[in-house]
Amino acid sequence: MKDWFLLYCKRSEQERAVINLDRQGVECYYPQVTVEKIVRSKRVSSQEPLFPNYMFVYFDPEMISYTTVRSTRGVADFIRQGKTPQRVDPDLIYSLMVNEDSAEQQAKLSNLPQPGETLKLAQGQFKGIEAIYHEPDGEKRSFMLINLLGKQVKVSVQNEYLIKK
């Protein structure tokens, strides 16, 4: 009977493990999320594992042995509870599959203003000041350009402080 198990993979070798496990007939799943990064002064979207170095595998231990899976290139070992590999609830796996890069998650990212958009700051030390949105600064902050004494200054503020005009 097939079950889901959790594997720990060698550093940055999840792709290699997936290829080799697929050849053996083991179904693999590792949730990924789209992340925006600044690379060489340009914003780039890339896919990254939600749980780095961890992977869920689905197989029948009576058909494919634990040792075979554990000895696969790229795999370090099973996550265990005592001596036996830890079984994972299928509902958890299916909920991860359904929510992976969901529309709700993408909506959170798209709610940020566009660069150059004029906003008003609602809270904080710059409350009431108009600012020009520049770029995101991490998950919950943004860089804004504000005019102080006739000169544009770049400041980092909480995203919830922004009000669209």
Residue 64 pLDDT: 93
Domain boundaries, position 44? 3-109
pLDDT digit string (tens) for 89-114? Answer: 998 888 888 877 555 555 555 566 66
9-57: per-residue pLDDT in tens?
998 888 999 999 999 999 999 888 777 777 777 778 888 888 889 999 9
- Of 63-67, 94-98, 135-139, 157-161, the poorest mean pLDDT is in 135-139
Residues 97 and 116 reside in one and the same domain: no
- Of 53, 79, 54, 55, give the one whose Cα is nearest residue 66: 79
Q: Of the residues 70, 90, 109, which one is the last residue of a structural domain?
A: 109
Residue 154 belongs to a domain with what CATH number? Answer: 2.30.30.30
Question: Residue 161: which of 124, 112, 106 has the closest Cα?
Answer: 124
Domain boundary among 109, 124, 153: 109
Residues 74 and 143 occupy one common structural domain: no
- Are both 39 and 98 inside the same structural domain? yes
What's the domain count of the chain?
A: 2
Measure the CA–CA gap between 147 and 29, rounded to whole angstroms.
49
Mean pLDDT score of the chain? 79
Tracing tokens 């792709």 back to the chain, one arrives at 15
